[in-house]
Amino acid sequence: MSFPVIDQTQTPLLSLGFSVPSKEALVKQYVGKKLHQVRTPRLIVDRSIVTKNCRRLGEISKQQGVKVRVHVKTHKTVEATEIELDAAGTDAIVVSTLAEAWYLIESHLTASKKLNDVLLGLPVSPDKFDDVFELAQRVPKFSIFIDHIQTLDALESYYEAKFGNDDSHRIHAFMKVECGNARAGAAINNEDSLELARRLVSSKVVVVEGLYTHAGHSYACRDNESAVAFLQAERDAAINYREFLAKNGVHIKNCSIGATPTVMAAGVATKQVLEGITELHAGAFAFMDRQQMATSLADTSDVAISVLARVASRYPERGSILLDAGGLAFSKDGSPQGGFGEIIGREHWKLDKIAQEHGVVTEVPLEDFEDAPVGKVFLVRPNHCCLTAACFEFYLIIENGGDEIVDVWVPVRGW
């Protein structure tokens, strides 16, 4: 089916130098300071825990004999991406935005050949094809998702208009398939998706990389056994669909599966559970959070991220404390444990009410007020690391649980 070539858009961040603060200026301002000396709220990242978590992913990759692809949407930084690539032993990433793709491909990671394989982890809309093909010239492999036949129609129309019969610009693509999360992906064992698969493998403008699933519903697991069950189900969905396609004359070799809970489950699963899988992908594993703790596959020692907040006021008569951090610092994502985060070292307190800039901590025993004066800083463990990190324009870096700032990381923001 013919699809009209639509006007192309471009990220405005290119003309703004990615619109990120100056790392050099921030390092000069913050490195060497103690946490209590900085303006709050502020995001704190323990680099040693990030490195430990990434090494754990690398160990899982080696144990299972399966390549890993790391998702960078949680942190959106060059520094954490480099730790992920080095510690996990991979050269492949997933990004959520084209801004992330530009930022990382234009960094030293590509020039040093540490980063060679970039996947845009969201079905791409046709207005972004200019960026896709430009980025494909700047990194050895750049891939996109296609999960609907209209996207392929639009891509083929664009390609013909731009490149004619020149097949040297073919774009790499994964067919995203739905495995129970009901967020994105073509339906499995469906006539429309079968037709899409047929079109993809025969297309003159696409190089099919494989099938791709994301078991976001695996966040519901609560122990190793249920986590491995989600992993097995995701693996089975991908492999069974690949076999369904093969029976119908469509041959796609590679299968990439994963979410942080299922990839962590791969660390306690037998190799048979991943039989036929060629790639694992995960993102939140680098920072971790209370949602991951709820799965039982992470504990407090694995959470690298926290929000630094101050006591703005206190109300002993009603057992509550007011923090100078609210929804724009913690986000409003929930977790099975309840509340909007937990105060590190005061986990019996409850951060259960937040407004834009207010955080209300309740159930504070009267005796605890002796060590909670106005102005004191506390670290808060967040529910969802991805959205919490997205609230901040830069991150202050510590090591080994210390309170001295050793670096500043600047994420790329926007689209």
Alpha-carbon span 135 to 127, nearest angstrom? 15
CA 70 to chain centre: 8
Q: Which residues of the chain have pLDDT under 50?
A: none
Least Cα distance to 6 among 151, 178, 154 occurs for 154
**Residue-level pLDDT at 15:** 66
**Residue-level pLDDT at 21:** 87
- Supply 65's token pair: 């004999």
**Residue-level pLDDT at 213:** 93
* Beta bridge pairs of residue 321: 314, 361
Quickly name the fold that domain 47-289 has.
TIM Barrel (3.20.20)
CA count, 13 A, side-chain hemisphere, 41 = 28
What angle in degrees, to the nearest 10, is found between the helix axes of 191-202 and 224-247?
70
Q: How many H-runs (helices) and E-runs (strands) does the chain carry?
A: 13, 17
- Label the pairing between strands 206-212 and 255-257: parallel
CA 242 to chain centre: 26
305-409: CATH class: mainly beta
What does the DSSP assignment read for 75-138? T--HHHHHHHHHHHT--EEEESSHHHHHHHHTSHHHHTTS--EEEE-SPPPGGGHHHHHHHHTT
Alpha-carbon span 62 to 127, nearest angstrom? 39
What does the longest C-alpha to C-alpha distance in the chain come to? Answer: 77
Sign for the pseudo-dihedral over CA of 400, 70, 178, 147 = positive
CA count, 13 A, side-chain hemisphere, 50 = 26
Long-range contacts of 33-38 (CB under 8 A, 24+ apart): 33/404, 33/405, 34/403, 34/404, 34/405, 35/308, 35/377, 35/379, 35/396, 35/398, 35/403, 35/404, 35/405, 36/377, 36/403, 38/308, 38/396, 38/405
Alpha-carbon span 120 to 131, nearest angstrom? 11
Least Cα distance to 68 among 222, 274, 206 occurs for 274
**Residue-level pLDDT at 180:** 78
pLDDT digits (tens, 9 = 90+) for 172-227: 999 999 887 778 787 887 899 999 999 999 999 999 999 999 988 888 899 999 99
Alpha-carbon span 239 to 211, nearest angstrom? 9
CB proximity list for 107: less than 8 A, separation 6 or greater? 78, 81, 115
Alpha-carbon span 77 to 411, nearest angstrom? 4
- Supply 327's token pair: 């929804």
Cβ atoms of residues 327 and 356 within 8 Å: yes
Alpha-carbon span 362 to 351, nearest angstrom? 6
Q: Residue 29, Cβ neighbours under 10 Å: how many? A: 13
Sign for the pseudo-dihedral over CA of 80, 85, 89, 93 = positive
Domain map of the chain by residue range? 47-289, 305-409
Per the confidence metrics, is the pTM higher than 0.85? yes
3 state DSSP class of 409: strand
- Label the pairing between strands 305-315 and 320-323: antiparallel
CA count, 13 A, side-chain hemisphere, 407 = 12
Least Cα distance to 186 among 166, 200, 203, 171 occurs for 200
Return the C-alpha torsion angle 213, 54, 390, 72, nearest 10. -50
Cα angle, residue 234 at apex, residues 183 and 205 outer, rounded to 5°: 65
Domains 47-289 and 305-409 agree in fold: no
- Supply 257's token pair: 């599966």
